[in-house]
Amino acid sequence: MVEMDQELLLRASFLEQQSKELHENLELLDSQIQELSDFSLSLDFLINSDKKEVLSNLGKGVYLSTNISDKKLFVQVGSGIVVRKTPEDTKKIIESQLLRLQEARFQLISQIEIYNSSLRETISNIEKSMEKKQKQ
């Protein structure tokens, strides 16, 4: 009986840890989704705007006034390779990435639900075992 209780406690601890890790991954994924969504909105602005001057974010809250002479973008595609793309083509790439991230998010949520369900079941088994011990 004691061995079974230890096994249940180890299982509960494992399930709780796995659920916690999945929640952390979900937060990271949500952050990436938000970042890409914001970028997509910026591309919409660029596509639909006739403005010739914009503020470009250099990072860390620093902006530079930029004159737009050509709307084609320089897009890094990996390994230091940069190609020219239209804002529309870039938006299609971003939409594809967003779709993949949202699918991964859905899978993570499903896994979290499975772990949480297993954890609830394990906790219930622990409680039942404790009740049996108290009756003895």
Residue 1 confidence (pLDDT): 56
Residue numbers of the domain that contains 126: 2-48+87-135
Residue 115 confidence (pLDDT): 93
Please count the structural domains in the chain.
1
% of the chain exceeding 90 in pLDDT: 71
Specify if 58 maps to a domain: no
Specify if 116 maps to a domain: yes
Give buried/exposed letters for 79-107 (b at 16+ CB in 10 A, else e). eeeeeebebeebbeebeeebeebeeebee
Q: What is the pTM of this model?
A: 0.79
Specify if 127 maps to a domain: yes
